Amino acid sequence: MVDTEPGGHRPPGRAGLRMRDMVGAILVLLVIVGVLASVTQSCSFDPGGPDVGPENAPTVDVSAKLGDAARSVTYPVRQPATPEGWRANSSSTSGVGTGAEANSVVRVGWVTPGGRYVQLSQSGGTAADVLDTETGESGRPTGTAEAGGVTWDVHTSRRDEVAWVTTLDGTVTLVTGNGTEDEFRTLAEATLDASPLVS
């Protein structure tokens, strides 16, 4: 049985819809699209990955973090004076090595004006343990680099990054990241120029 409207008339089918009905439906859709556009206007799609530009990075108080570290570890920790425009955006401390050789590694990372990342790791552990912790299975020696009159051993690292490592006053010092060679050298030399923080 076919339902009918009061008075015995059937409701109009799709073919019987008037132009006014279609215009009304389009207007409703436009309102919905407008609301969605206004809500998502600050969003963007970037198939190349996240933007790590300096203006988007969080900020870390390097003096506070390394000062705290210097008071809690038994090896000398240095605070490099980085160039203007470098933004410290990460810091952490974790264990390195096992058994009697267990120690810690203190890290601070910076985003450079070019949007690249460089990290300084300092540890009282052995160079082998620090390299294993900081570069993982990707770490392989590839040569040496000179910075500040010191020879740094160069290794591959995670995510196609590079690692430079040397020992300063008994502290294994490692620079890693995806920065340029000039940025690595800048951080390496700034670390060499810095005096150990007083614990």
Please indicate, yes or no, if residue 39 is contained in any of the structural domains.
Answer: no
Residue partners of 131: CB distance under 8 A and separation at least 6: 139, 155, 163, 165, 174
pLDDT score for 4? 53
Q: Quick check: 58 pLDDT over 80? A: no
SS3 176: strand
Rounded Cα distance between 59 and 41, Å, is 26
Rounded Cα distance between 61 and 13, Å, is 69
Q: Percent of the chain scored above 90 by pLDDT?
A: 59
Please indicate, yes or no, if residue 20 is contained in any of the structural domains.
Answer: no
The whole domain housing 116 covers 54-193
pLDDT score for 16? 58
Hey, which residues does 196 pair with through a beta bridge? Answer: 78
Cβ burial, residue 81 (10 Å; 0-12/13-18/19+): exposed
> Which among 69, 150, 80, 152 is positioned nearest to 110, based on CA atoms?
80
Please indicate, yes or no, if residue 35 is contained in any of the structural domains.
Answer: no
What's the whole-model pTM score?
0.70
Q: For tokens 């015995």, what's the residue?
A: 8
Confidence of residue 98 (pLDDT cuts 50, 70, 90): confident
- Compute how many other C-beta atoms are within 10 angstroms of the C-beta atom of residue 92: 14
Please indicate, yes or no, if residue 45 is contained in any of the structural domains.
Answer: no
Please indicate, yes or no, if residue 49 is contained in any of the structural domains.
Answer: no
CA distances from 31 to 20, 23, 40, 93 (A): 17, 12, 14, 52
Rounded Cα distance between 178 and 138, Å, is 14
Please indicate, yes or no, if residue 17 is contained in any of the structural domains.
Answer: no
Tokens found for residue 39:
């809500």
Confidence of residue 31 (pLDDT cuts 50, 70, 90): confident
pLDDT score for 47? 47
Please indicate, yes or no, if residue 165 is contained in any of the structural domains.
Answer: yes
Q: What share of the chain is helix, strand, coil (3-state, %, to 5)?
A: 35, 30, 35
Residue partners of 18: CB distance under 8 A and separation at least 6: none
Confidence of residue 26 (pLDDT cuts 50, 70, 90): confident
> Which among 145, 186, 178 is positioned nearest to 164, based on CA atoms?
145
Please indicate, yes or no, if residue 75 is contained in any of the structural domains.
Answer: yes
**pLDDT digits over 32-53, tens only?**
887 777 665 545 444 444 444 4
Beta strand 171-177 pairing with 162-168:
antiparallel
The structural domain count of the chain equals 1
**pLDDT digits over 112-158, tens only?**
999 999 999 999 999 999 999 999 877 899 999 999 999 999 999 99
Residue 135, domain CATH: 3.40.1000
